[in-house]
Structure 1
Amino acid sequence: MKYARLTGTPDPERTPEIFDLLARSSFVDEARLYDWNLSSDAVTALLEVDGERERFRDEAADVLGMRSVDTTRISERRFTLLAVLEPTVVPLLQGLVGTISREGLVVAKPLLYRDGQVHARIVGSAPVLQRAVDEFPAEIALEISAIGEFDRSRETPLSGLSDRQREALLAAFDLGYYEHPRRATHEDVAARLDCAPNTASEHLQKAEIKLVTDVLRSEFVR
């Protein structure tokens, strides 16, 4: 079983509005696609977005192929997005869905949308991966950054954290808590999370313990 790590850059002149909204808009820093469900005429996608929730909802209402949008606030600049998309009215999206929805192929989650690109990992046998790459829509410039045997590396370092621990860690990183010299305190992280400083400290400590334990354990078992 193989995996291929891909970076796709759609042609700016032919990019669907849906992609521009997620990966090129000034009010979205990053979007992560965690799951989706295919039905006869729609794709229901679950994402986590770093950006301006209200602005996103306003803009999404007029995007071609976006049937419905439901958002839930996580923090000041993060929200969960449940979007129902109509591939049949967006040719590039329809072609892409057809390429990845094939027997013997799995798209490992999450997919990352940022800076005009989408980053993904696909898993399957070597022939299946090759056919998928060969049949990607021509409007998407595809770069293969890695190919190898698929194993537990598909799990990200943040996979074992709770939602709140992950949120605290990302907030601390964004605020400069882990820079040297440190640019933020537990109080700053707490303000971002809208919780007490000791609660923010507890979330960070538990997240750090899990990350360090997982990294060191992987070293010992090699």
Structure 2
Amino acid sequence: MKHVRVTVAFPPAYRHPMHQFAVERDDVSDYRIVEWYPVGDGSTTLLLQFSGDADAYRERIATVDSVEAHHVADGPGDSVFVYAKDTQADASGQAATDFFVPGIAVVPPVAFNDDGTVTAALVGPGEDVQAGLSALPDEMDVTVESVTAYRGHATGLGASLTDAQLEAVAAAVECGYYEPTRSGSVAEVGEKLGCSGSAAAERLRRAEAGVMAAVAERAGGVSD
């Protein structure tokens, strides 16, 4: 069984309107699907999360015809949670459903990146994963980030974090950044990640916000 991480370039014609919104807005980042449930009537119920301007998101999603129902909830810090029932049936909707072919499990979260690409983890027999990727339209370039044997994935609190955030947390733990005496610095974390200390600090801040949001949600601290 293979664990294949891919980044797929979604040209504008294949992007959901809210993905395009995230691409266009500098004040929206870390936009991702946390959970989704395809329904027999052709619609999909989704739980999404991002960091940024909740009011701007509310205003935009209210204009998307394919979104039958939605609720936007402010979380701790700049975290925002979105419930949506979507019936997207055009090119972007078809491109998304092409991933859901027999034999493939799409492991959340699915990240909608600022450059219009989508990053996802696919689990299943190698030939089924290849078949699913081959079913995507020719215009959608696929970059295979990694192929490994599947040995589990982040669950619980860690499931709310992006791969980049998980990588930053792992580097910070290795450096001793989270030790009681804090023997490591963000500069050392950045060195391990190959980025600046300020960039590492921002990744850790977002990771910490994601974990705290998950804790608050589990404790009932995110209001309806």
TM-score by length of 2: 0.66
Using the aligned pairs only, state the percent identity.
18
* Whole-angstrom CA distance in 2 between matches of 1:11 and 1:55: 23
Contact map agreement 1:123 1:150 (CA 8 A) in 2: yes
Unaligned runs of 5+ in 1: 184-188, 194-199, 204-222
**Structure 1 stretch 135-144 or stretch 120-129: which is displaced more?**
135-144
* Whole-angstrom CA distance in 1 between matches of 2:68 and 2:124: 31
Partner of 1:155: 154
Displacement of 1:69 after TM fit?
A: 1.7
Residue 96 to residue 129, structure 1, CA distance change in 2 (3 Å) = same
Displacement of 1:157 after TM fit?
A: 10
The reply to whether residue 131 of structure 1 matches residue 131 of structure 2 is: yes
Contact map agreement 1:28 1:51 (CA 8 A) in 2: yes
**Structure 1 stretch 62-71 or stretch 43-52: which is displaced more?**
62-71
Unaligned runs of 5+ in 2: 173-184, 189-196, 199-204, 216-224
TM-score by length of 1: 0.66
Partner of 1:109: 108
Displacement of 1:23 after TM fit?
A: 4.0
Larger Rg, first or second structure (1 or 2):
1
CA offsets, 1:166-197, max 9 Å, x none? 9xx99xx9xxxx635999xxxxx9xxx8xxxx
SS of 2:93 mapped into structure 1: helix
Residue 156 to residue 20, structure 1, CA distance change in 2 (3 Å) = same
Contact map agreement 2:49 2:81 (CA 8 A) in 1: yes
What is the CA RMSD across the aligned residues, in angstroms?
3.4
Contact map agreement 1:18 1:65 (CA 8 A) in 2: no
The reply to whether residue 28 of structure 1 matches residue 35 of structure 2 is: no
Displacement of 1:72 after TM fit?
A: 1.3
Residue 24 to residue 114, structure 1, CA distance change in 2 (3 Å) = farther
SS of 1:140 mapped into structure 2: coil
